[in-house]
């Protein structure tokens, strides 16, 4: 491995919006647009001259417009009708022009105009971009490892109808985010969008909640995988046991595995995520077929109408209990911002990142519902399932089918969960890399470095170490520690999701759309998305057991939901840090060079 490359070498100070000063420097930069995108490079060896400033259905000029002049001329195509948004049966009005043949050149030009050199390898296609979000959602991970949360808090109705309810709102959130991702396809994603739409303070808070959420979801994914892996190993080696210490040791080994895999090139990771997507879809099909032949099934009335309240709260508070049960679905259907974080490594990213996010959620909702219905039909005994706690699905499979078939399905699930954890570390490390590239993370010079294969190796190591540390409390109470870890993940990520969507609503028709757009449908999609996010954030900050409420007669620290302490602590830490220090030096996204030649020099250095 060669000496790490500092991705911000040659970087220059910017104004407080992250863009160039309005006076064009020598070398031919025209004034930037609202998002800090350069208007054109008139004097460069490859000249990028603006086309018309038209916004009547697409950026004919400053966004992806005509490349003309210079030593190589690429005439810009006219704005095409419809855009990818039209695939939603009418969402989207005429938007960005088609990309030049080959796609990669215009991707790099757009990234340059957003202020960054092509530091990461752009080796992902559209399917791989979809696959990484689909893999992180991972219905064979989240649905199965957190099944007990919904079953204990609401029962089958929370498992089935709760899944569809959360799924419908998650599609709207993904659509609202996809529109923004199309306009600004960078690895920083949500943090970058919030900075450009609202300023450094918005970007600061969005970035930190996104990073905390990414670390927490990585921890929760790998801990869930450790629960299932330990159960599988216990079938093979009966004396191993499934105590919390054993699970934590397996969890440590899984984290180490994912660290090693993420030191490989993005090309290898792209192939892994493509295999993962097919593994998930075929795996769900196999599990459903096996469960369909179970000799005895529950009735349809049980699966779709039965309610269970094993929370300790009164039945008069059932709707609150049902709300807690939604954590299973909300935790599972998250992390799809990975498509945006991988946009600097995706070809035709302005379309592929948006499409990847939305379709990952849609496909997950459909396949996940089929899987959950099949598992719930196969429940052999309600009380036994409740008593099994976090091992509820393992209990169902073992009792309904016997150890042989349970092992078969556990192998399918464990492999899928290992794929999921790998993809989560990939996404989180790119977010940390991008946030560090702009100086926001302590030790940022270390975390923004990349190796010869362009992998952000130090960011990968940091994410894995922090995710491992977050699950240390599970040594005290595994089930509650895992539940709280999932709550932190959901709250952190959803706060980060909401902030750029709020800013997009405020921007209204001034928002400069990319190749994938909601058109005027954003006026109802985005507000509903923000409203749902606010609801689930409040729900998951509330107590999960009456004995976890301070002052309760049988108060027990082991069942306290410490997510409020974590989230409030994050607000105090990040807010205090910003007010006392960061507001004086944090200016949001920082352009890596003051000319196209400077960006080209950075890219040439990496190719050397």
- Domain end residue (candidates: 118, 138, 164): 118
Distance CA 233, CA 54 (A): 62
Summary mean pLDDT of the chain: 79
- Residue 222: domain span: 126-585
Share of the chain above pLDDT 90, in %: 41
Which of 9-23, 309-323, 412-426, 525-539 is predicted with the least confidence, judged by mean pLDDT? 9-23
Question: Quick one: average pLDDT of 463-486?
Answer: 84
Tokens 């060079």 belong to: 593
Question: Is the residue at 314 inside a domain?
Answer: yes
104 lies in the same domain as 149: no
Q: What is the pLDDT of residues 543-590, one digit of tens each?
A: 888 888 888 888 887 778 877 887 888 889 889 999 999 889 888 877
Q: What is the largest CA-CA distance in the chain?
A: 79
The pLDDT assigned to 598 comes to 67
321 lies in the same domain as 290: yes
C-alpha dihedral, 110 to 113 to 115 to 121, nearest 10°: 20
93 lies in the same domain as 188: no
More confident residue, 243 or 558: 243
Give the pTM.
Answer: 0.77
CATH of the domain at 539: 1.20.1740.10
Q: Is the pLDDT of residue 389 over 60?
A: yes
More confident residue, 285 or 560: 285
Tokens 């006026």 belong to: 523
69 lies in the same domain as 133: no
The pLDDT assigned to 590 comes to 72
539 lies in the same domain as 402: yes
Q: Which of 223, 31, 199 is nearest to 588 (CA)?
A: 199
User: Which pLDDT band holds residue 453 (cuts at 50, 70, 90)?
Assistant: confident
Q: Is the pLDDT of residue 308 over 90?
A: yes
220 lies in the same domain as 107: no
User: Which pLDDT band holds residue 293 (cuts at 50, 70, 90)?
Assistant: confident
Tokens 């999932």 belong to: 486
90 lies in the same domain as 159: no
Q: What is the pLDDT of residues 78-111, one digit of tens each?
A: 333 333 333 333 343 333 333 443 443 477 777 7
Which of helix, strand or coil describes residue 206?
A: helix
91 lies in the same domain as 210: no
Question: Is the residue at 43 inside a domain?
Answer: yes
Count of domains forming the chain: 2
More confident residue, 557 or 403: 403
Q: Which of 254, 201, 209, 258 is nearest to 229 (CA)?
A: 254
The pLDDT assigned to 605 comes to 67
- Domain end residue (candidates: 118, 135, 165): 118
- Domain end residue (candidates: 96, 118, 140): 118
User: Which pLDDT band holds residue 17 (cuts at 50, 70, 90)?
Assistant: very low
Quote the strand ranges of 179-283, DSSP E.
none
Phi then psi dihedrals of residue 198, to 5 deg: -130, -15
Token representation of residue 505: 């609503």
Q: Is the pLDDT of residue 174 over 80?
A: yes
User: Which pLDDT band holds residue 441 (cuts at 50, 70, 90)?
Assistant: confident
162 touches 322 (CB < 8 A): yes
The pLDDT assigned to 10 comes to 40
The pLDDT assigned to 125 comes to 78
The pLDDT assigned to 53 comes to 34
Distance CA 507, CA 17 (A): 15
Specify which residues 450 forms β-bridges with: 5
More confident residue, 23 or 473: 473
Distance CA 282, CA 285 (A): 5
The pLDDT assigned to 1 comes to 44
Question: Is the residue at 596 inside a domain?
Answer: no
Which of 100-104, 370-374, 530-534 is predicted with the least confidence, judged by mean pLDDT? 100-104
C-alpha dihedral, 286 to 292 to 293 to 296, nearest 10°: 140
Q: Is the pLDDT of residue 69 over 60?
A: no
Phi then psi dihedrals of residue 450, to 5 deg: -125, 155
The pLDDT assigned to 303 comes to 96
The pLDDT assigned to 599 comes to 66
Question: Quick one: average pLDDT of 291-310?
Answer: 91
The pLDDT assigned to 110 comes to 72
Greatest mean pLDDT among 182-186, 304-308, 472-476, 488-492 lies in 304-308
What lies within 8 Å, CB to CB, of 583 at 6+ separation is 200, 201
Own/partner pairs, 301-304, CB within 8 angstroms, 24+ separation? 302/156, 302/376, 302/379, 303/156, 303/160, 303/373, 303/376, 303/377, 304/156, 304/157, 304/160, 304/161
User: Which pLDDT band holds residue 444 (cuts at 50, 70, 90)?
Assistant: confident
Distance CA 414, CA 434 (A): 31
Question: Is the residue at 254 inside a domain?
Answer: yes
111 lies in the same domain as 132: no
The pLDDT assigned to 215 comes to 92
Token representation of residue 30: 């025209």
User: Which pLDDT band holds residue 42 (cuts at 50, 70, 90)?
Assistant: very low
Q: What is the pLDDT of residues 157-166, one digit of tens each?
A: 999 999 999 9
Radius of gyration for the chain, computed over Cα atoms and rounded to the nearest angstrom: 24
User: Which pLDDT band holds residue 152 (cuts at 50, 70, 90)?
Assistant: very high
More confident residue, 306 or 270: 306
Distance CA 42, CA 26 (A): 10
Q: Which of 433, 431, 503 is nearest to 199 (CA)?
A: 503
More confident residue, 593 or 395: 395
The pLDDT assigned to 503 comes to 95
Question: Is the residue at 18 inside a domain?
Answer: no
Which of helix, strand or coil describes residue 449?
A: strand
More confident residue, 47 or 112: 112
What lies within 8 Å, CB to CB, of 1 at 6+ separation is 451, 452
The pLDDT assigned to 121 comes to 65
Question: Is the residue at 300 inside a domain?
Answer: yes
199 lies in the same domain as 92: no
What lies within 8 Å, CB to CB, of 285 at 6+ separation is none
Tokens 């050199």 belong to: 117
More confident residue, 260 or 68: 260
Question: Is the residue at 310 inside a domain?
Answer: yes
Which of helix, strand or coil describes residue 450?
A: strand
More confident residue, 608 or 57: 608
Q: What is the pLDDT of residues 175-217, one digit of tens each?
A: 999 999 998 888 778 988 999 899 999 999 999 999 988 999 8
Distance CA 281, CA 386 (A): 28
Buried b (16+ CB within 10 A) or exposed e, 322-360: bbbbbbbbbbbbbbbbbbbbbbbbbbbbbbbbbbbbbbb
Q: Is the pLDDT of residue 127 over 90?
A: no
Distance CA 356, CA 108 (A): 19
412 lies in the same domain as 307: yes
Question: Is the residue at 225 inside a domain?
Answer: yes
114 lies in the same domain as 131: no
More confident residue, 581 or 64: 581
User: Which pLDDT band holds residue 267 (cuts at 50, 70, 90)?
Assistant: confident
Question: Quick one: average pLDDT of 412-423?
Answer: 93
């Amino acid at each position: 491995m060669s000496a790490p490359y500092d991705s911000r070498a040659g970087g220059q100070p910017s104004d407080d919006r992250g863009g160039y000063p309005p006076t064009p420097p020598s070398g031919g930069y025209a004034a930037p647009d609202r998002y800090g995108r350069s208007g054109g490079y008139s004097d460069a060896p490859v000249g990028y001259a603006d086309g018309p400033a038209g916004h009547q259905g697409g950026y004919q000029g400053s966004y992806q417009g005509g490349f003309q002049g210079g030593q190589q001329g690429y005439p810009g195509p006219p704005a095409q009708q419809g855009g990818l948004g039209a695939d939603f049966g009418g969402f989207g009005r005429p938007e960005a022009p088609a990309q030049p043949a080959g796609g990669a050149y215009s991707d790099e030009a757009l990234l340059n105009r957003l202020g960054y050199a092509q530091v990461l390898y752009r080796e992902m296609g559209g399917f791989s971009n979809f696959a990484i979000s689909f893999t992180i959602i991972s219905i064979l991970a989240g649905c199965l490892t957190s099944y007990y949360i919904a079953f204990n808090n609401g029962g089958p109705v929370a498992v089935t109808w709760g899944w569809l309810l959360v799924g419908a709102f998650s599609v709207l959130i993904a659509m609202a985010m996809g529109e923004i991702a199309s306009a600004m396809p960078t690895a920083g994603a949500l943090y970058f969008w919030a900075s450009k739409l609202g300023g450094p303070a918005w970007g600061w808070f969005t970035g930190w909640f996104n990073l905390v959420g990414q670390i927490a979801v990585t921890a929760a994914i790998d801990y869930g995988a450790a629960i299932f892996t330990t159960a599988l190993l216990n079938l093979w080696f009966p004396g191993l046991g499934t105590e919390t210490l054993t699970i934590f040791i397996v969890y440590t080994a899984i984290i180490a595995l994912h660290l090693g895999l993420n030191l490989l090139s993005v090309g290898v990771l792209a192939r892994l995520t493509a295999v993962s997507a097919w593994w998930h879809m075929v795996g769900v099909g196999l599990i459903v077929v096996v469960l369909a032949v179970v000799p005895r099934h529950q009735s349809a009335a049980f699966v779709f109408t039965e309610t269970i309240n094993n929370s300790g709260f009164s039945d008069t508070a059932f709707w609150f209990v049902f709300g807690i049960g939604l954590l299973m679905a909300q935790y599972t259907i998250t992390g799809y911002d990975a498509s945006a974080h991988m946009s600097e490594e995706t070809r035709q990213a302005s379309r592929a990142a948006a499409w990847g996010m939305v379709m990952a959620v849609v496909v997950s909702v459909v396949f996940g519902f089929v899987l959950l219905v099949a598992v719930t039909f196969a429940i052999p005994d309600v009380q036994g399932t409740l008593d099994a706690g976090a091992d509820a699905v393992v209990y169902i499979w073992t009792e309904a089918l016997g150890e042989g078939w349970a092992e078969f399905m556990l192998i399918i699930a464990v492999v899928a969960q290992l794929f999921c954890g790998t993809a989560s570390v990939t996404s989180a490390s790119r977010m940390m890399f991008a946030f560090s590239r702009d100086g926001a993370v302590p030790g940022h010079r270390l975390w923004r470095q990349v190796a010869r294969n362009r992998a952000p190796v130090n960011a990968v190591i940091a994410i894995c170490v922090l995710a491992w540390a977050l699950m240390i409390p599970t040594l005290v109470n595994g089930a509650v520690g895992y539940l709280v870890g999932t709550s932190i993940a959901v709250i952190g990520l959803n706060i980060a999701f909401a902030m750029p969507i709020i800013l997009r609503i405020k921007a209204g028709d001034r928002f400069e759309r990319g190749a994938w757009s909601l058109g005027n449908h954003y006026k109802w999609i985005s507000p509903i998305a923000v409203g749902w996010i606010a609801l689930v954030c409040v729900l998951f900050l509330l107590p999960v057991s009456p004995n976890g409420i301070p002052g309760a007669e049988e108060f027990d620290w082991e069942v306290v939901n410490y997510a409020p302490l974590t989230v409030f602590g994050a607000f105090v830490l990040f807010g205090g840090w910003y007010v006392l220090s960061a507001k004086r030096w944090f200016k949001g996204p920082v352009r890596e060079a003051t000319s196209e030649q400077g960006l080209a020099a950075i890219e040439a250095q990496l190719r050397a």
